Structure 1
Amino acid sequence: ETGLKIQVPFFIERGEIVKVDTRTGKYIERVGKKG
């Protein structure tokens, strides 16, 4: 929703919800699927 782009592992698919460290912008973990 904000347009932020981050690098995530290859197993993450479009539409999945991930946790991101807002200080660094780095991927932390997969949370679930949208919807």
Structure 2
Amino acid sequence: MTLMDMVNVETILLTIITTIMGIRRLIDFTFSEI
């Protein structure tokens, strides 16, 4: 595994985590509005 692969994996993981956090925040916001 090269350094570029490591950077790529880290970027993908960060993107996934950010997306999950955003979705959870959206769900919380939606439920609190009801």
TM-score calculated relative to the size of structure 2: 0.16
More strand by share: 1
Larger Cα-atom Rg: 2
TM-score calculated relative to the size of structure 1: 0.16
Higher relative contact order (CA 8 A, sep 6+): 1
